[in-house]
Amino acid sequence: MGRTPRPANVDAYIATASKEARNKLREIRKVIKSVAPKAEEKISYGMPYYSYKGRLAYFAAFNDHVSLFAMPPIGGAAKGELRKYQTGKSTLRFSLDQELPIPLIRRLVRAGVRRNEIEKK
């Protein structure tokens, strides 16, 4: 049994996701690109990756959820909002049957942009 080839770009990655996940992936991508228009978009570790003066974010589709992997570790001011979602050190999981918290995602990505700009001066 051969390995499934990795997608060549983010459009190809989204196209391989389930119908339920595709719109959520497009929404996450749109937020990242609007907050960090200069971020480089590519595939890393088999999933969409965004780099702006360092690691910024990844996202991925799974059987029953989509995840946003945001750097640095998630927390701080957004901690109260995060109780609604499964979280990890730098991971947010969104069930396919729930709306994405676009303002929260926007703030997390914006915080990553600011952090990278400060660290790379």
Enumerate domains of the chain plus CATH numbers.
10-119 (3.90.1150.200)
The pTM for the full model equals 0.87
Whether the CB-CB separation of 108 and 36 falls below 8 Å is answered with no
CA distance 77 to 31: 19
Q: Which helix (H) or strand (E) holds 93?
A: strand 91-95
Instruction: Round to whole Å and give the CA distance between 96 and 64.
Output: 6
Q: What is the pLDDT along the chain (121 residues), one digit of tens a residue?
A: 455 678 999 999 999 999 999 999 999 999 999 999 999 999 999 999 999 999 999 999 999 999 999 866 665 556 667 667 777 777 889 999 989 999 999 988 998 999 899 887 6
